[in-house]
Amino acid sequence: MSYLLKTIVREKGISLEKWRDEIGVTDSTARWHLKAKPPRIPNPNYWKLIADLLDMHYKEVEQMFREELDAQGRIRSCLVCEKEVLQLTSRKYLCGAESCTREYDRKRKASQRQRTHQWKRLNDSEFNQRISKTGEKFSISREEMDRKIEEFFKGGGEVEQLPPAIADGITGEPWGENYTARPLPRLRVDSAPEHDILIDCEHG
């Protein structure tokens, strides 16, 4: 079924500019009323002006717009009081009453707080209690760790050799996929007072 408003406007020869001026809207809103796909229904505040412009009874205009809203599934019920709501925008879920808005915000914020509390950050004590199914503190002594390491080696476990650490006097040099290490040259001051120079220990 074609949208009746576009057909009526075309038959009456009403231009976009005349619609804009007679209804009292901007150019973008006028295009939104007449050219949007799927059709976008004007706000009910404009329905009386539209009826006058089209030379139609208000009830006829109201019925035309309600039929289009119903075809698009945009006649719904308020989420709080279940009063009929004309969903002119995709995010309109309330009837507009102040009491419904307050009640909806109260429930929405309570739901957000509940979701936030589900992800509470645990301290060390709480973490130890959660990680152990028996409720006992989760810990391991140094002796137990040494015993586990010994069992690992006795069971055939091996430790992969890592590249040498960069320590004092040692620097790593890239060499293909492996690493080598070489000593950094150290400098010393000659003890003789007449030689106040630095001598490379690598060559001296």
Q: Where are the domains of the chain?
A: 4-73
Q: Are 131 and 138 in contact (CB under 8 A)?
A: yes
- Map residue 161 onto helix, strand or coil: coil
Q: Is the dihedral of CA 127, 131, 137, 143 positive or negative?
A: negative
Q: What is the pTM of this model?
A: 0.50
- The count of other CB atoms within 10 Å of the CB of residue 13 is 7
Retrieve residue 44's tokens. Answer: 């009910």
Q: What is the mean pLDDT of each successive set of 10 residues along the chain, which is 204 residues long?
A: 78 92 91 86 92 93 91 90 88 88 90 69 69 59 81 80 51 48 52 50 48
pLDDT at 168: 45
Question: Which of the four CATH numbers 1.10.260, 2.60.40, 1.20.58, 1.10.3470 does domain 4-73 have?
Answer: 1.10.260
What per-residue confidence (pLDDT) applies to 23? 92
